[in-house]
Structure 1
Amino acid sequence: MKIKRALNNNAAIATNHDGVDVLVMGPGVTFGKKTGDLIDIAKVEKTLFLKNKEAMNKFTDLVIDVPMDQIEISERIINLAKMKLGKKLNEIVYVNLTDHIHMAVKRAKDGILLSNPLKWDVARFYADEFAVGQKAVEVINDSQSVNLSDDEAAFIAIHFINAESENGAEQNQAYEITKIIKACENIVKDYFHTEFDEQSLNYYRFITHLKFFAQRVLQGKHYDDEDDTDLLETLEHRYAKPYSCSKQIKQYISENYDFTITSSELLYLTVHISRLVKNL
């Protein structure tokens, strides 16, 4: 491999034997070398190629300032997330998570620990991602001699929630989605003066519906709306309280997100709420 651009003594963009530009990293891998020189393969500890050109360019810029051990921590955590979540992750997570870890460690060493007001909501609504975040915090604390908390685990979880989306328009919405889920859940709790069994199947179905509902709200999208007027009128009489509660959610969404819930959305909300509170 030949050096195309030396980033620092430990990293470079190099062209491999297939003519593809890859990021190579290793202690002293470019020391004393210049563009066009051959890379000493024995010094290369890691290579990275991201198909997303924008992500690759941003990650390359990041490598200039981020210590090698933090880059390795980020990759370890991403690999863990791939196994734990079983989902394809958008490559931008390499940039976002690495940058986040770098800044979190820097803040912690400066005595600055940020609180996350939605920590426990992220933990409830995205249990698997939060578990990855907790493991990430454990790895970071052990390797960087800092004391990050579950607040940071929730921030890291949000990076993976965002990375689960292939659509750029859907990324970076996890925090707002969590706020909408929490608000809708609280509306139902307040209306029926109750708490929920968070281990129940109906609760799981309700929260899952709210996740996709919140995404549609933020993207300004609706179901392919059909004429559900007759069915909605039936539900209005049969499930009067769940229907009335759904209308409160409709009002909240309208006032806070300038989004009008259609009859189909209202119908599905009513059905899920009626299941959730059927034993009250």
Structure 2
Amino acid sequence: MKIERTLNNNAAIATNQNGVNVLVMGPGIAFNKKVGDQVEIAKVEKTLFLNDKETMNKFTDLVIDVPMSEVDISERIINFAKIKIGKKLNEIIYVNLTDHIHMAIKRAKEGVFLSNPLKWDIARFYPDEFAVGQKAVQVINDSQEVGLADDEAAFIAVHFVNAENEDSSQQNLAYGITKIVKECEDIVKDYFHTEFDEQSLNYYRFITHLKFFAQRILQGKHYDDEEDDDLLETLEHRYAKPYQCSQKIKEYISEKYNFTITSSELLYLTVHISRLVKNL
């Protein structure tokens, strides 16, 4: 491999045998090296290639200032997340997570710890991602000798929630989604004066529906509204209280988010709420 660009003493962009530019990292790998020099393979500890050129460029720029130990932590956590979450992750996670970990460590060493008011809601609605965040905190604390807590685990979890969307327009919605889901859930709890079994299948279905519902609100999208008025009228009589509760959600969302819930949205909300409270 030949060096195309040195980033710092420990990182460089090199061209492999297939003519593809890859990021190579290792202690002293680029020390006193110039463009065209051969990479000392024995010094290579890590290589990385990202398919998206813009993301690769961003990550390359990031590596200039981020210690290799922190890049290594980020990669370890991403590999753990791929197994734990079991979903394809957008390559931007390499940039966002590495940058976040770098800044979190920097703040922690300065004695600055950020609170996350939505941490327990993130833990409830995204348990696998939160578990990844907790693993990340453990790895960071052990290797960097800092004292990050569950607040930071929730921040990291959000990066993985966002990275599960390949569509860039759907990224960075996790906080807004969590907030709306909690608001809707609280309306239902208050209306029926109850708590829910968070391990039940109906609760899982309800929260899953709310996540997609919240995503549509934030993106200003609706279901293709079919002629559901007759069915909705039937549900209004058969499931009077769930329907009235759905109306309260409709009024709240309209007032706070300037989003009009259609008949289809109202129908699905009513069905999910009726399942959730059927034994009350």
Q: TM-score range by the shorter chain?
A: over 0.9
Aligned structure 1 segments of 4 or more residues deviating by more than 4 angstroms? none
Q: 1:229 Cα deviation (Å)?
A: 0.4
**For 1:167-197, what per-residue CA distance to the aligned partner results, in whole angstroms no more than 9, with x for missing partners?**
1010000010000000000000111111111
In the alignment, which residue of structure 2 is the partner of 1:272? 272
Q: 1:71 Cα deviation (Å)?
A: 0.2
In the alignment, which residue of structure 2 is the partner of 1:159? 159
Equivalents in 2 of 1:95, 1:25: separation in Å? 16
**SS of the residue 1:259 aligns to:** coil
**SS of the residue 1:35 aligns to:** coil
Q: 1:253 Cα deviation (Å)?
A: 1.4
In the alignment, which residue of structure 2 is the partner of 1:95? 95
Equivalents in 2 of 1:37, 1:152: separation in Å? 41
Q: 1:278 Cα deviation (Å)?
A: 0.9
Q: Is 1:106 the counterpart of 2:109 in the alignment?
A: no
Task: Give TM-score scaled by structure 2 length.
Answer: 0.99
Give the alignment's Cα RMSD to 1 decimal: 0.7
Equivalents in 1 of 2:60, 2:124: separation in Å? 35
In percent, how many aligned pairs have the same letter?
Answer: 81
Equivalents in 2 of 1:180, 1:18: separation in Å? 48
In the alignment, which residue of structure 2 is the partner of 1:24? 24
Q: 1:220 Cα deviation (Å)?
A: 1.3
In the alignment, which residue of structure 2 is the partner of 1:214? 214
Letter in 2 for 1:173: L
Q: 1:222 Cα deviation (Å)?
A: 1.2
Q: Is 1:75 the counterpart of 2:87 in the alignment?
A: no
In the alignment, which residue of structure 1 is the partner of 2:33? 33
In the alignment, which residue of structure 1 is the partner of 2:52? 52
**SS of the residue 1:39 aligns to:** coil
Task: Give TM-score scaled by structure 1 length.
Answer: 0.99
Q: Name structure 2 gaps, 5 residues minimum.
A: none
Equivalents in 1 of 2:271, 2:76: separation in Å? 42
In the alignment, which residue of structure 2 is the partner of 1:238? 238
Equivalents in 2 of 1:30, 1:217: separation in Å? 49
**SS of the residue 1:22 aligns to:** strand
After TM superposition, the structure 1 stretch with the greater mean CA deviation from structure 2, 264-273 or 211-220, is 211-220
Equivalents in 1 of 2:181, 2:53: separation in Å? 34
Q: Is 1:64 the counterpart of 2:91 in the alignment?
A: no
Task: Report the number of matched residues.
Answer: 280
**For 1:43-65, what per-residue CA distance to the aligned partner results, in whole angstroms no more than 9, with x for missing partners?**
11110000011110110000000
Q: Is 1:252 the counterpart of 2:252 in the alignment?
A: yes
Equivalents in 1 of 2:14, 2:256: separation in Å? 49
**SS of the residue 1:209 aligns to:** helix
After TM superposition, the structure 1 stretch with the greater mean CA deviation from structure 2, 251-260 or 155-164, is 251-260
**SS of the residue 2:22 aligns to:** strand
In the alignment, which residue of structure 1 is the partner of 2:223? 223
Q: 1:257 Cα deviation (Å)?
A: 1.7
**SS of the residue 1:156 aligns to:** helix
Equivalents in 2 of 1:172, 1:87: separation in Å? 17
Equivalents in 2 of 1:57, 1:188: separation in Å? 46
Letter in 2 for 1:228: D
